Amino acid sequence: MSRLRPKDRAAPLTCACVCLVFCGLTGCCNPGPKPDGPVTLRFSLSLDPQVYAQSHYKKPPQFAIWIEDAAGEQIRTVWVTEKTGTGSWGGKIVRPVSLPYWVSRWNKETGSNGDPAPDNPAADAVTGATPKQDLTCRTEVPAAGKWNYFIEVNVSGDFNDSFPATTRDRKSDRNGNGQPSIVYKGRIKAVPGRSSEPKLMGRTDQFERVRSVIPDLEGISDAKDLFSKIEISAL
């Protein structure tokens, strides 16, 4: 019987080779299926009542939450306070500068013009009474997508030296706005377990409707403290 010479012997299978052979038969080395179902984005916010209680009207603020794709073409309102979202102010002064930046994005989202009104409100599913302290809301998005999210907030009558009821040139704040709305922005990928915190990106205008955010935050004081917590997570 002839014996195999060392160079004729089959080389032993290494661990890597064994894995390749076994996985080729069973498919175990293939990555698991990517999640193709929707992912829930959860927004949890807490207001500080001590802050808005110091304003002239002592009422909770108006605010809106919405998401956009990276190009800013897909826009979805997640939640907006009822008065701004429906244009129903209960016979009180209408505040067209309440959340002007959200209104401009809602116009693009819905193909509408102007502020929400009783005959052209935001959808019932995304409007609600202003919470006195805590709010949690959710929206579903495709898995693994990347989303920018925005939060705009405004408490009426929070006048200060920079945003007074009457300016030095005698311009009156007829809408009772005070410090204009401020806008937060963040980004999150729709992967369960991800979380994100937004950053304050700017403000709007005390007197005029604007469709863009003004980065200058000089003069904004306690308005920056309206939220004691902002947490965004993917579930």
Q: How would you write the pLDDT of the chain (235 residues) with one tens digit per residue?
A: 444 444 444 444 333 333 333 333 334 444 444 556 899 999 999 999 999 999 999 999 999 999 999 999 999 999 999 999 999 887 666 678 999 999 999 999 999 999 999 999 999 999 999 999 999 999 999 999 999 999 999 999 999 999 999 998 999 999 899 999 999 999 999 999 999 999 999 999 999 999 999 999 999 999 999 999 999 999 9
Q: What pLDDT is stored for residue 96 in this prediction?
A: 82
In a domain, 22, yes or no: no
Question: Could you list the residue range(s) of the whole structural domain that residue 152 is in?
Answer: 40-234
CB atoms within 10 A of CB 226: 23
In a domain, 228, yes or no: yes
In a domain, 216, yes or no: yes
**Count of domains for the chain:** 1
Q: What pLDDT is stored for residue 92 in this prediction?
A: 64
* ∠ CA 32-34-39, rounded to 5°: 140
Q: How far apart are CA 131 and CA 83, in angstroms?
A: 12
In order of 52, 165, 223, the CA distances from 57 in angstroms are 8, 13, 14
In a domain, 7, yes or no: no
In a domain, 23, yes or no: no
Q: How far apart are CA 29 and CA 39, in angstroms?
A: 26
In a domain, 114, yes or no: yes
Q: What pLDDT is stored for residue 37 in this prediction?
A: 83
In a domain, 19, yes or no: no
In a domain, 1, yes or no: no
Look up residue 115 and give its DSSP letter: S
CB neighbours of 73 closer than 8 A, spacing ≥ 6? Answer: none
Q: What pLDDT is stored for residue 140 in this prediction?
A: 97
- Are the beta carbons of 223 and 179 closer than 8 angstroms? yes
Half-sphere exposure of 44 (CA within 13 A, CB side): 10
Q: Which residues are 172's β-sheet partners?
A: 166
Q: What pLDDT is stored for residue 34 in this prediction?
A: 52
Q: Which residues are 219's β-sheet partners?
A: none
